[in-house]
A and B are shown apart, each in its own frame.
Chain A
């Protein structure tokens, strides 16, 4: 066996028919990951993976193993892992080893999944290209001179390059869906409050959500089943059953009403190839029986402004704890203030500093009402607008990103243009909705993503649409031509 199975289902089949052991899958994943040429990984956890694989093999032999037992996966390095370094892509956390695991990691551990290692990301998940990592940019396996998207670039690439079967990322404004689109895999952001944030290094608390990358919609749904559900350690969660996630995967689109928000197609900077691929996808959905309806989300334009107030405001506060007193980097100065200055000055990269300054400013006395309070009001209006649209349609269909993977370095000196890459994904975070990106063809030889957005807690509906599209097209089978070195 030279290639990992593409899906959880295929892998589970191999494991149960004894054609492969969990340890063999883990060794294969480790081998491919060690030879990764995309800088997708920050730490590979060989011993830990082998130990988990052996335990999964025992479970599999006993015959009562969960579906995820023995499946190799990759963890974004912003998700805390007990006794395994967790850097959030930042120098300031270099050497930090958490004494506890995130709930999502514990849940995957409990189901026998085998973690191969921790993946590269934009520092503290701040970025759309993975160029903001303190440990170097991640390269797109489709073309080495292109970005993989961000911030969960490493997790997207680990799946796209066939190094693991699935991975976890976090999505604050598109950090799962956009890299999924740019690397040609499926990536999904759950409804806010469905996945525990406990143990996940906070970026913007009211927007952050953990979600999976995989090669198929069904796999994404399987991982969601494992990680969804109330955690007493996260007070922002809602107790919702998640037994319907895979129920409607095969139901098809007959009778479904899908909204096409016109504002998502009239954005400056939208590449024609992207628009073409998405419009083709709409035709496929219609052919499969869906009723398409143009809808208006008139506040879409304001999403970016709202996002770039709330997100940096929360980040500026969340990142205050990195002061060199208790853990991580510490650069001593002659006094306390100078120790803060030097530690934070050296520990944080330029984009993180930019956002902390933005956020601090937005929360300052005299500006708070004009920025933060106003942004929260517009946030409510944006939510209301989605609520009204979902009275008419079952789901929304949009492009995931206005562009395909752009060249490394092309936007690093133009933050605004970088921020605009998330224009279609960040309103979903603002409204707390679930969204998924599925591959919908190529433009200039690079993958394009189709985003499907559903109402809160309607992941089942979202998966139904995505799975129907996946069955109707071969796009999810496209693989990058460049192989791991």
Chain B
């Protein structure tokens, strides 16, 4: 962005595995990661002769849900098409996809900066198998695992509205949040459940004319870092290619490149001359789809509040800082937990947020568990906050109680009582102790009255000592200053 003599124009195609139980067109288990090779297969996802696809209704619902979460329109008619190409990981010699009538069109995604990236379309397709290359006694071989073959994939295509690698990363992170939030996908990048194809081009002024040479499509990126690094590398490479008078000055179409994270550079996969003709045509083994308005309405109703909207509400309604709201919203279950606690103790939204973000998150991190596995439930945390707010325990005592709750999941008030952690707020008991302290410490009283307010500390300490350090410090302070006035 700044510091470069060109602007970046980026569009991203995101492939997301949908979180269905079964595959897109057969009953095989869809969660393929880690399963022994070729154990989650059947005639359909192996492309055996005579096998036919039957669409997974849940996958269609999730795809529409994703579209709605991205503010897309759901066209009244949609269909599946065949995308024809030969490759060993594609058992039928074609991939069932959607060509000209995708399930969702014309949406947008708002980035944390407030910028809206337009979504061109989102369509449903089936994933391919995976290849493993090896060598045995000098002979190279390739093995095919069809466990992933037929897993439902949603391809979400953005408009070229993104103008930096950082913004690209923000886009895919926000997109991931939305998809996780709406229950469409868990999108575990480390398990290959999300992949990105990034279209990068550079635009600049030269001799008073706007130049916008053909783009590069970087295929199959599977981490945020790869996306950042590949965009930075390829945009710079395009610029250098232009400056050195390379092919880019004359070629008419885009090139496709891969990214090698080991070497930190892209490599050419194909140029326009050998672009494949996929010979799309309507899949004759399936009938066209017309998602009913009732079905769409139902899915829309079931759609949860999106992270950006929820964050804004946390700030407006609960008075949280933007930073705290963002932390809570980053994990849908954590945000749900927070709101459940606030519902149980409506008077203390900020205090509850502090506890959720502070001690609770720290405890979860220590044991690397998710909020769902927390041993302190939202109502218990609310009860603890109620004790603090009601002046029944001090902050440090509350931490001790929380530690106990985390160990055994006990009730905070019971822990407070058995451990003797309750604050003394009884004013007559405190007043008696104050009177005793004033009588026993004339020096400190004199100093205080002479203007040395610091001498009050010694008196407070004396009162606390008498009450076994469980007195409510605020009450002690108030009564002391009253008596000494």
Residues of the B chain whose Cβ atoms lie less than 8 Å from the Cβ of A99: 43, 48
Q: Which of A96, A232, A235, A368 has the most CB atoms of chain B within a 10 A radius of its CB? A: A235
How far, in Å, is A253 (CB) from chain B's closest CB? 36
Q: What bracket does the count of chain A residues touching chain B fall in?
A: 35 or more
- Taking a contact as CB atoms closer than 8 A, the residue among B94, B281, B286 that contacts A368 in the complex is B281
Q: What bracket does the count of chain B residues touching chain A fall in?
A: 20 to 34
B123 adjacent to chain A (CB < 8 Å): no
Taking a contact as CB atoms under 8 Å apart, the answer to whether A313 and B281 are in contact is yes
Residues of the A chain whose Cβ atoms lie less than 8 Å from the Cβ of B93: 317, 319-321, 323
Taking a contact as CB atoms under 8 Å apart, the answer to whether A365 and B277 are in contact is yes
Taking a contact as CB atoms under 8 Å apart, the answer to whether A235 and B53 are in contact is yes
B407 adjacent to chain A (CB < 8 Å): no
Taking a contact as CB atoms under 8 Å apart, the answer to whether B277 and A364 are in contact is yes
B49 adjacent to chain A (CB < 8 Å): yes
Residues of the B chain whose Cβ atoms lie less than 8 Å from the Cβ of A313: 281
A80 adjacent to chain B (CB < 8 Å): yes
- Taking a contact as CB atoms closer than 8 A, the residue among A206, A235, A320, A363 that contacts B52 in the complex is A235
How far, in Å, is A28 (CB) from chain B's closest CB? 31
A293 adjacent to chain B (CB < 8 Å): no
Residues of the B chain whose Cβ atoms lie less than 8 Å from the Cβ of A88: 49
Distance of A202 Cα from B55 Cα, bound (Å): 18
Taking a contact as CB atoms under 8 Å apart, the answer to whether B53 and A321 are in contact is no
Distance of A360 Cα from B277 Cα, bound (Å): 10
Chain A's closest residue to B43 (CB) is A100
A198 adjacent to chain B (CB < 8 Å): yes
A308 adjacent to chain B (CB < 8 Å): no
B268 adjacent to chain A (CB < 8 Å): no
How far, in Å, is A266 (CB) from chain B's closest CB? 32
A197 adjacent to chain B (CB < 8 Å): yes
Chain B's closest residue to A86 (CB) is B49
Residues of the A chain whose Cβ atoms lie less than 8 Å from the Cβ of B47: 321, 326
Also in contact, A233 and B54, with CB within 8 A (given A320-B86, A320-B93, A340-B86): yes
Contact flags B74-90 to A (C-beta < 8 A → 1, else 0) = 00000000101010100
- Taking a contact as CB atoms closer than 8 A, the residue among A202, A235, A321, A365 that contacts B54 in the complex is A235
B284 adjacent to chain A (CB < 8 Å): yes
By DSSP majority rule, is chain A's interface helix, strand, loop, or mixed?
A: loop
Distance of A442 Cα from B55 Cα, bound (Å): 49
Q: Which of B43, B50, B51, B277 has the most CB atoms of chain A within a 10 A radius of its CB? A: B50
- Taking a contact as CB atoms closer than 8 A, the residue among B53, B91, B277, B287 that contacts A326 in the complex is B91
Chain B's closest residue to A319 (CB) is B93
Taking a contact as CB atoms under 8 Å apart, the answer to whether B91 and A206 are in contact is no
Chain A's closest residue to B278 (CB) is A365
Residues of the B chain whose Cβ atoms lie less than 8 Å from the Cβ of A360: 279
A314 adjacent to chain B (CB < 8 Å): yes
- Taking a contact as CB atoms closer than 8 A, the residue among A98, A235, A319, A321 that contacts B55 in the complex is A235
- Taking a contact as CB atoms closer than 8 A, the residue among B91, B279, B287 that contacts A321 in the complex is B91
Residues of the B chain whose Cβ atoms lie less than 8 Å from the Cβ of A336: 88
A residues 334-386 touching B (CB-CB < 8 Å): 336, 340, 360, 363-365, 368, 372
Residues of the A chain whose Cβ atoms lie less than 8 Å from the Cβ of B84: 316-317, 320, 363
Contact flags B205-240 to A (C-beta < 8 A → 1, else 0) = 000000000000000000000000000000000000
Distance of A329 Cα from B277 Cα, bound (Å): 26
A residues 84-122 touching B (CB-CB < 8 Å): 86, 88, 93, 96, 98-100, 102
A153 adjacent to chain B (CB < 8 Å): no
A454 adjacent to chain B (CB < 8 Å): no
Distance of A325 Cα from B48 Cα, bound (Å): 11
B residues 16-72 touching A (CB-CB < 8 Å): 43, 46-55
A70 adjacent to chain B (CB < 8 Å): no
A200 adjacent to chain B (CB < 8 Å): yes
Chain A's closest residue to B276 (CB) is A365
Chain A's closest residue to B54 (CB) is A235
Taking a contact as CB atoms under 8 Å apart, the answer to whether A368 and B43 are in contact is no
B285 adjacent to chain A (CB < 8 Å): yes
- Taking a contact as CB atoms closer than 8 A, the residue among A96, A233, A314, A321 that contacts B284 in the complex is A314
Taking a contact as CB atoms under 8 Å apart, the answer to whether B48 and A317 are in contact is no
Q: Which of B86, B144, B279, B285 has the most CB atoms of chain A within a 10 A radius of its CB? A: B279
Distance of A82 Cα from B142 Cα, bound (Å): 29
Distance of A319 Cα from B46 Cα, bound (Å): 14
Also in contact, A323 and B86, with CB within 8 A (given A93-B49, A197-B52): yes
Residues of the B chain whose Cβ atoms lie less than 8 Å from the Cβ of A79: 50
Chain B's closest residue to A124 (CB) is B49
Contact flags A195-219 to B (C-beta < 8 A → 1, else 0) = 0011111101110000000000000
Taking a contact as CB atoms under 8 Å apart, the answer to whether B49 and A325 are in contact is no
Taking a contact as CB atoms under 8 Å apart, the answer to whether A232 and B49 are in contact is no
How far, in Å, is B288 (CB) from chain A's closest CB? 11
Q: List 19 A-B contacts (CB under 8 A).
A: A79-B50, A80-B49, A100-B43, A197-B50, A200-B50, A201-B50, A202-B50, A205-B284, A235-B285, A235-B286, A321-B47, A321-B49, A323-B93, A326-B46, A326-B144, A363-B281, A365-B277, A368-B281, A372-B281
Known: A197-B50, A235-B53, A365-B277. 20 other contacts (CB 8 A): A98-B49, A98-B50, A99-B48, A100-B43, A199-B51, A205-B284, A232-B54, A234-B52, A235-B286, A313-B281, A314-B281, A317-B82, A317-B84, A320-B84, A321-B91, A323-B88, A325-B88, A336-B88, A360-B279, A363-B84
Which 8 A-B residue pairs are closest in the complex by CB-CB distance?
A320-B93, A363-B279, A205-B284, A206-B284, A199-B50, A201-B49, A80-B50, A321-B93
